[in-house]
Structure 1
Amino acid sequence: MEAVAWTFRPLWKTKENFNITNAGNNVLLFALELEVDVEKVLLREPWSFDCHLVLFQRFDGSKPSKDLDFKLCSFWVQIHDLPYQFLTPKAAVEITETIGPVTVSRDTAEMKGGTFMRVRVVIDISRPLCGGRKIMYDEDSERWASFQYERLPNICFWRGMLSHDDKECELWLRSKGTLSVESQQFGHWI
């Protein structure tokens, strides 16, 4: 717990201090004194510790901590390979709504990345990441728009999962290390 506090305290730069309690089963309860500090931490997701994703969830203490379901995290998702006519906030939201709920920013300037668009999406980490979508330009043509996720921690390149990395993957373990890198579905491009 001390290492976690030592890592996050300077990153979060909270106005007031916070306390950490170990709830067991890899769950830590962070008690932040100010709502503005809570919002700041949640808005700057994803967080990682030792290259592993750290999931946060609001908790009011009304139920046992063992009943908390840690499977959602917000990521900035970049949409690449879009034609110029689709480099709009509206198109970016419509495309990324297919992978999770979108948080639309009040400042649409942060959605524009030059040759790509970026959108904040709540991702269900119990499912593989989505590498992109086919986009219909008109009745006769379609094209692949690829997704890149900002600030990804360790990821399994075999299955696209955030819950484990390559060396912990069942596919890798069952193969006894014989799978080739070329057979990975994902790579550093994601």
Structure 2
Amino acid sequence: MAEELEELWSKLSFTEEEDASITLGSNSTKAARERGRFCVVLKILSHRCVNVEVLRKNLNMLWKPSKGVKFSELEEDLFLVEFGDKRDKRRVLDMSPWSFEKQLVLLQEFEGELTPKEIEMRWSPFWVQFYNLPLKCRTKETTWAIGSKLGSVMEVDVSDTGVQWVKYLRARVKMDVIKKLVRGKKITIEGGESRWVHFKYERLPNFCYRCGLFSHAIRDCSESVGSNYQTDESQMQYGA
């Protein structure tokens, strides 16, 4: 976006009056910066238009904020959410991901330095389960190693001993949701043979079972053109 603006400006011819800059001091931004501490930016990962009033009612019921919450529409698909209590904001962020009408809700901290068009919304945390690992690999280090290949690891669910004797390992990972879901990874253990470790995602919203993207359902998938998305199960690379 910044590059596009620079290119646009380079083509403009400014008058003397237009070229005279306006300097804003800290007093001009103080009120917004103070209120921004209570805010998050929100986007619904969907091609469909969102009704802000329906969104507000739905998320109010889910979040149950102690001191209320306000929604402001910044762009057609981008919203600013202002909480009355910072503890409500922290709880909502910590309990992500959320969904609205089965579509993924993206949330991130308020960034006052950016215009709405400059804000990039593409990351969301998920708890991911890792299956089919040998017993000797069920450690904190293994969980971090696998999780880091999916995104930024925020937390691992491993006991203080560093070993987790359960059915699967589990990590909370901030993932790039513009990319396709990763179904698993080939793991090579101590120079031995490779094995397939498959993943399961907790609280997963709607996504395309054909291509693995969050942004649309099967009926809207460009790969579904000319095929029967309801019956052509052989083309479904993703599922429960």
Q: Assess same fold via TM > 0.5.
A: yes
Give the residue type in structure 1 aligned to 2:60.
R
Using the alignment, how far apart are the partners of 1:182 and 1:38 within structure 2?
43
Identify which range, 111-120 or 16-25, moves more after superposition.
111-120
By how many angstroms is 1:176 displaced?
A: 4.3
Matched-pair contact (CA < 8 Å) for 1:112–1:118? no
Partner SS state of residue 237, structure 2? coil
Matched-pair contact (CA < 8 Å) for 1:155–1:161? yes
Matched-pair contact (CA < 8 Å) for 1:132–1:144? yes
By how many angstroms is 1:147 displaced?
A: 0.7
Identify which range, 56-65 or 145-154, moves more after superposition.
56-65
- Could you say which residue in structure 2 is the equivalent of 1:165? 217
Question: Aligned pair 1:85/2:139, yes or no?
Answer: no
Which segments of 5 or more consecutive residues in structure 1 lack a partner in the other structure? none
Using the alignment, how far apart are the partners of 2:54 and 2:97 within structure 1?
18
CA RMSD of aligned residues (A): 2.1
TM-score, normalised with respect to structure 1: 0.88
Which segments of 5 or more consecutive residues in structure 2 lack a partner in the other structure? 1-51
Deviations, residues 67-87 of structure 1 (Å, cap 9, x unaligned): 211111000011011111111
- Could you say which residue in structure 1 is the equivalent of 2:178? 126
Partner SS state of residue 5, structure 1? helix
- Could you say which residue in structure 1 is the equivalent of 2:117? 66
* Over 4 Å off, 4+ runs: none
Matched-pair contact (CA < 8 Å) for 1:79–1:146? yes
By how many angstroms is 1:36 displaced?
A: 2.2
Identify which range, 14-23 or 66-75, moves more after superposition.
14-23
- Could you say which residue in structure 1 is the equivalent of 2:187? 135
Question: Aligned pair 1:57/2:120, yes or no?
Answer: no
- Could you say which residue in structure 2 is the equivalent of 1:94? 145
Give the residue type in structure 1 aligned to 2:151.
G
TM-score, normalised with respect to structure 2: 0.71
Using the alignment, how far apart are the partners of 1:100 and 1:83 within structure 2?
23
How many residue pairs match? The answer is 185
Using the alignment, how far apart are the partners of 2:140 and 2:123 within structure 1?
23
Partner SS state of residue 101, structure 1? strand
By how many angstroms is 1:102 displaced?
A: 0.3
Higher-Rg member (1/2): 2
Distance 1:159 1:136, change over 3 A: same
